[in-house]
Amino acid sequence: MTATDATPPIRLLLCDDHAVVRAGLLALLSSTAGIEVVGEAGSGEEALAMAARVRPDVVLMDLQLGDGMDGVEATRRLASGTGPTPPQEPAPRVLVLTMFDTDADIARAIEAGATGYLLKAERPEELFAAIRNAAAGRTALSAPVADRLMAQMRTPRPTLSERERDILQQLARGLGNREIARALFISEATVKTHLGRIYGKLGVDTRAGAVAVATGRRLLG
């Protein structure tokens, strides 16, 4: 509404695996002053290729991307400029737009280099503001996300090691200890040891409970 047309529009790339949602965002953002949607992608791979071509200022990235590369990995490559064409001059800012405000998702996205993290449940105005902030290099977190981050800093969760996550993943497939052992090429005893530590860290005492907590915290791939 105000006279902000002096600056060139923000070049935006959409990445979401749901075509209808993507089309909706396109329609929504195209009619927003100061923003120009320069591309759409339905997968992480597409986003990387498209970004290398159109060089957007900001990538609006969903974390859940169906089959192929997940949003975190796509974010990592985009933000680090490690695209298919190696020397990505100005790495685009990645703004994560997703449905979940889980600790694990937030942490992974930020660690991967996201400039912002906001929720699809947020008001559209927040989205516009976040895009502008991201374009300017400012961090953009929506309120619930910021809350969770602060809470996480105050009471740091015991973090699962990579191996423990491996175990947990097999566990969530419903495998028994012996099968997990075979799947990961370790002994059954080791599996039990890991499971013991996992129980401790997740605050449960049964394997089904571990699966429940893990799915709740979205610790699984």
Partner DNA sequence: GGCGGGGTCAACCGATCGGATGATGCGGAG
Partner DNA sequence: CTCCGCATCATCCGATCGGTTGACCCCGCC
Residues that bind DNA (CB under 7 A): 161-164, 176-178, 181, 184, 186-190, 192-196, 199, 205-207
Comparison of 149 and 186: residue with beta carbon closer to DNA: 186
Comparison of 103 and 166: residue with beta carbon closer to DNA: 166
**Roughly what angle, to the nearest 10 degrees, separates helices 162-172 and 177-184?**
130
* CB of 174 vs a copy of itself, minimal distance in Å: 3
Interacting partner of 178 out of a copy of itself, DNA, none (Cβ under 5 to 8 A depending on kind): DNA
Interacting partner of 11 out of a copy of itself, DNA, none (Cβ under 5 to 8 A depending on kind): none
Site residues (vs a copy of itself, CB under 8 A): 17-21, 23-28, 30-31, 66, 97, 99, 119-124, 127, 171-176, 204, 206-213, 215
Interacting partner of 66 out of DNA, a copy of itself, none (Cβ under 5 to 8 A depending on kind): a copy of itself
* CB of 71 vs a copy of itself, minimal distance in Å: 15
**Roughly what angle, to the nearest 10 degrees, separates helices 162-172 and 207-216?**
110
Comparison of 76 and 140: residue with beta carbon closer to a copy of itself: 140
Comparison of 41 and 172: residue with beta carbon closer to DNA: 172
Interacting partner of 49 out of DNA, a copy of itself, none (Cβ under 5 to 8 A depending on kind): none
